[in-house]
Amino acid sequence: MNLFTFYRNSIKTLSVAGCDSPEFDVQQLFDFCLKINKTQLLLRANESIDNLDTSFFNECLEKRKNRIPLQYIIGEWGFYKYNFKVGEGVLIPRPETELIPEYIYSKFQKEPPKVVYDICTGTGCIGITIAKLFPACKVYCVDISETAIDYATKNKENLCADNVTILKKDMLDPTSPIGLPFADIIISNPPYIKSDEISTLQQEVKYEPSLALDGGEDGLMFYRALKENWFPFLNSNGLMILECGENQAKDILEMFLETAKGAKFIKDGQDIDRIVVLKK
């Protein structure tokens, strides 16, 4: 069999398994397992696969066929302009979350924030990106999960983000922020899926930790805690920048009506109000 037929067959396998973007996935796995990128594939299309060790690729394809997320198979994923280690037990960084560092970078380039918290940090993708963009800023990344703490620590080390402090804390505990310097910006992409909607999610998402997805009965439990426990630790004129799910932005705004003195929404590529910015 030649390389191109092998490639087409692999796409077919994933397509039959119900994967969303089988061609993209196979390209990524070719690159990751066989070190064959798209150009090389075209140049080597007629080459026989007999001389190629395809065992690792086949193993990975099998995992993907079972709908294990591509990002977990590859073990790292790009976010903004950095690569983050990812794996089971930690949320995969999403493209819409990049809106947060994009917004902060555009707004604070001239006057960088000095202290930032990233609550529910997971891989640390948001907080560590902010730390890389603003090397003089101290960033505190908080998560309750041991696995998240391990990934965030690894990512901090890999990206040489010395200005990041990783803290294992329960964000729902009102005493958690005590002892931290007041923040100029508090960021969070908390779990925001309603508990009874978890079972309806795409198969891949079910491999992600429910701890990172489940936002309680109405999906808003963590926003309440952000308001009660963390908003008081913002400096005056500081910003709380929150990612949320579809149709949640207005509810969050309402929650902060008495507390914040300004607010704005940022839409994602699908025209959904995805980020809520609240001013203290």
**Cβ closer to ligand GLN: 19 or 130?**
130
CA distance 210 to 224: 19
**Cβ closer to ligand GLN: 25 or 143?**
143
Strands 82-85 and 76-79: antiparallel
Asked if residue 241 binds ligand GLN (CB under 6 A), the reply is: no
**Cβ closer to ligand GLN: 26 or 90?**
90
Segment lying near ligand GLN (by CB under 6 A), choices 30-38, 102-110, 128-136, 187-195: 187-195
CA distance 96 to 82: 15
Asked if residue 116 binds ligand GLN (CB under 6 A), the reply is: no
One residue of 19, 26, 120, 193 binding ligand GLN per CB under 6 A: 120
One residue of 99, 125, 142, 171 binding ligand GLN per CB under 6 A: 125
Asked if residue 122 binds ligand GLN (CB under 6 A), the reply is: yes
> Residues in contact with ligand GLN, total (CB under 6 A)?
13
Cα 237 to Cα 63, 123, 131, 233, distances in angstroms:
48, 28, 20, 12
Residue type, 216: G
Asked if residue 91 binds ligand GLN (CB under 6 A), the reply is: yes
Distinct helix (H) and strand (E) counts, the chain: 10, 9
Asked if residue 189 binds ligand GLN (CB under 6 A), the reply is: yes
One residue of 212, 221, 239, 255 binding ligand GLN per CB under 6 A: 212
183-188, strands of its sheet edge to edge: 164-168, 138-143, 115-119, 183-188, 234-243, 273-279, 262-267
Rounded to the nearest whole angstrom, what is the least distance from the CB of residue 105 to ligand GLN in the complex? 16
Instruction: Using alpha carbons, select from 215, 169, 173, 224 the residue that is nearest to residue 191.
Output: 215
Rounded to the nearest whole angstrom, what is the least distance from the CB of residue 142 to ligand GLN in the complex? 10
Question: Per residue, what are the HEC states of 21-52?
Answer: CHHHHHHHHHHHHHCCCHHHHHHCCCCEHHHC
- Largest pairwise CA distance in the chain: 68
Asked if residue 126 binds ligand GLN (CB under 6 A), the reply is: yes
**Cβ closer to ligand GLN: 3 or 133?**
133
Rounded to the nearest whole angstrom, what is the least distance from the CB of residue 94 to ligand GLN in the complex? 6
**Cβ closer to ligand GLN: 69 or 93?**
93
Rounded to the nearest whole angstrom, what is the least distance from the CB of residue 28 to ligand GLN in the complex? 19
Strands 115-119 and 183-188: parallel
One residue of 190, 219, 238, 245 binding ligand GLN per CB under 6 A: 190
Rounded to the nearest whole angstrom, what is the least distance from the CB of residue 222 to ligand GLN in the complex? 8
**Degrees, nearest 5: CA angle 227-220-240:** 35
Asked if residue 89 binds ligand GLN (CB under 6 A), the reply is: no
Rg for the chain, CA atoms, rounded: 21
* Sites of contact with ligand GLN (CB under 6 A): 91, 93, 97, 120-123, 125-126, 189-191, 212
